[in-house]
Chain A
Amino acid sequence: MKDIDYAAPKTLAEAVALLDGKGDRARVLAGGTDLIVQVREGRRDIDVMVDVKRIPDLTRLTVDANGLRIGAATPCCDIYEHPEVKKSYPGLVDAAFLIGGIQIQSRASLGGNLCNSSPAGDAIPALIALGAVCVIAGPKGERELPVESFCVSPGRNALARGELLAAIKISAPRTGSGAAYLRFIPRNEMDIAVVGVGVSVVLDAAKSKVVAARIGLGAVAPTPLLVKDAADALVGTTADDAAVENAASLAQAAAKPISDMRGDADYRKHLVAVLVKRTLAIALERARKS
């Protein structure tokens, strides 16, 4: 690897000052599973890695009656092994448990997945479905941004100079909620999504009608997408076959995939409909059992 510097600030303010001073010559180091490879292979030219894992809040996960707050550098394993998270946020656990292999999950973070801003990042559609909010720290203080607005183009996001993603917040699931994430890859593990779909639904007291829904799509557009039309079409229905078909075709219409080595555009469109139906079925089942 080319010569670089390493900094390990102990406070958010120190990290912000470093990032503000160095601009795009500095990059946050969380799990390093993307960044270290990019720098080693010469795909990202930086002067300093800013390791944020010595800032206690950045690797802290808290769950209470209001919801879940995940420090942006918390590794996936801490998320899917947490008993409360397993119980109440299975749609998030689905995503955290399929990012890379076990060795990657020991280090890779949801914040890193967001900041890498790949259209195919597995955590992102799951977070979109759950209505997650990004907590961003910067020179002017803290601001919040809905997760679907975070990525702006492949590899680029809404962070301005001096800003870093501090945490991800998810509201506590409403009664009758269920969520799930599925992706399609040609092997069982360790691959990049051809298509990824996150779904969350809320059922009424009778566990019959859908009262709210969100659908996130990955790897079918320059950024992960919130497909509002498709999710809204489920509201007021019992998620019967016709309603599910309708939501799947609306999601398909919103997908604007490219053709590449992982699949051509038509194939990805086909997968969107298949995965929306499968993911929705799991989310509904979890909602009925909740």
Chain B
Amino acid sequence: MSKKLHVQTTINGKETELLCEARQSLLEVLRDDLRLTGAKEGCNNGNCGACNLMLDGRLVNSCLVMAPEIDGRKIETIEGMASAQGLHPLQQKFLEHAALQCGICTPGFILAAKAMLAKNPTPSEGDVRHWHAGNLCRCTGYDKIIRAVLDAAPACAGKCS
């Protein structure tokens, strides 16, 4: 057993301390140790986006972040999106448009869409497709996802920063 590294981080607004191994990815620590299983392991090499989350306000693949790197950093995951008032507008629109089938890619798409709408609140269809090039879905053919994101944009004004 290798020695454990002490990491202090903020996850969905909550200060969190954890012990990790240097060889662990952020995704592994979230899923296996913290039981935050919203981020999914798809390709584990940065192609599919299923493990997307926000690291210090930037959309990243958590499979390509080493766990010790997050010391002192802020993390936002899909688990932090819904509030006591209910689902985030993006989550609601994904449901309304049936923009998912198996659901593995969904948390990544929703985080990616939130990151996009924070920068570009009125995207075109082309903007949405370009932004999500790093998110793969093998079920929907993307059309329903794109429609859900476009439909969510007005409702997200001020809620996606």
Contact = CB atoms under 8 A, between A and B. Distances in A.
Indicate, yes or no, whether A interacts with B: yes
Interface of A: 1-6, 8, 29, 31-33, 36-37, 40-41, 49, 51, 53, 75, 77, 100-104, 106-107, 188-190
Interface stretch (B21-29, B97-105, B137-145, B147-155): B21-29
Contact of B23 (A1, A29, A41, A107): A1
B84 interface: no
Contacts of A106: 55, 58-60
Contact of B22 (A6, A75, A103): A6
A36 B21 CA distance: 14
Given A36-B66, A106-B55, 19 more contacts: A1-B23, A1-B25, A3-B23, A8-B69, A8-B71, A32-B65, A33-B64, A37-B45, A49-B22, A101-B49, A101-B132, A103-B112, A103-B134, A104-B134, A106-B58, A106-B59, A107-B65, A189-B134, A190-B47
B52 interface: yes
Which 3 A-B pairs rank lowest in CB-CB distance, beginning with the nearest?
Answer: A101-B134, A189-B133, A6-B22
Contact of A189 (B52, B112, B130): B130
Nearest to B129: A188
Q: At the interface, is chain A mostly helix, strand, loop or mixed? A: loop
B58 A190 contact: no
A102 B115 contact: yes
The listed residue with most B CB atoms (<10 A of its CB), out of A4, A8, A41, A106, is: A106
Contacts of A188: 130, 133
Contacts of A5: 22
A104 B47 CA distance: 9
13 contacts: A4-B23, A32-B65, A32-B69, A33-B46, A36-B65, A40-B44, A77-B58, A102-B112, A103-B59, A106-B58, A107-B65, A189-B133, A190-B47
Contacts of B134: 100-104, 189-190
Contacts of A100: 46, 134
Contact of B133 (A41, A49, A101): A101
B87 interface: no
Contact of A102 (B22, B47, B55, B131): B131
B5 interface: yes
Interface in B18-53: 21-25, 44-47, 49, 52
Contacts of A4: 22-23
